Structure 1
Amino acid sequence: MVRKRVIVSGTVQGVFFRDTCRSEAVAHGVSGWVRNLPDGGVEALFEGAEDAVAEMVAWARTGPPAAVVRAVEVHDEPAAGVRPGGFEVRPTPYRG
């Protein structure tokens, strides 16, 4: 099991990035979450088998057809045992 957090920038909000990400993650058996960021980016956490997580990170580099991905930051994190098969769309965090 591996865990990666990605931050995606570009035209990634309003293009079904989160919903498509959720569908892709479920199809790959990856757990975690995705959310919009106040700065216009998207953040996602992927946890699962190494090859499946690698496929999700690769998918994040292009996103859905309407997205224009400019950059993807990838951060390795210790696996934490996220609920297997659970992937959710989270709300945008409050920026005060």
Structure 2
Amino acid sequence: MSDSSRARAHVYVSGHVQGVYYRATTRDTARDLGVDGWVKNLSDGRVEAVFEGPRDDVESMVQWCHDGSPMASVDDVDVTYEDPRGETGFRVER
């Protein structure tokens, strides 16, 4: 796979997205798709995440963020595409 087929999306998710298993469900979904990166809660109530991997799978994760975990209520997803940085694995950061 060439580097041009890898994508990196940096997302900020706002709404009722903390305390509703959003990070854990994001991690599980990313791992199921084989997407690398991380997810964490921010002090302002948003969730921040980075997804890196095959372009279609990264786009699937970005789309998934609009719904998120079953108990989440997402108001907005702000996405910035960046050059891949070689993330490996997917983790929840604290």
- Compute the displacement of 1:81 (Å): 1.1
Question: Which of 61, 65, 78 does residue 73 from structure 1 map onto?
Answer: 78
Unaligned regions of 5+ residues in structure 1, if any? Answer: 92-96
Does residue 87 of structure 1 match 2:65? no
Q: TM-score, normalised by structure 1?
A: 0.91
Identical residues among aligned pairs (%)? 49
Give the superposed CA RMSD.
0.4
Find the residue that maps to 2:38 and give its secondary structure: strand
2:63 matched to which residue of 1?
58
Residue of structure 2 equivalent to 1:38: 43
- Runs ≥4 in structure 1, deviation > 3 angstroms? none
- Give structure 2 stretches of 5+ with no counterpart: 1-5
Partner AA of 1:7 in structure 2: Y
Q: Which amino acid aligns with 1:5?
A: H
TM-score by length of 2: 0.93
Aligned residues: 89
Please list the CA deviations of residues 46-92 of structure 1 after superposition, one character each: whole Å capped at 9, or x if unmatched: 00000000000000011011000000000111111112xx000001x
Q: Deviations over 1:18-65 (max 9, x none)?
A: 000000000000000000000001000000000000000000011011
Amino acid aligned to 1:87 = F
Cα distance between partner residues in 2 of 1:45 and 1:24: 13
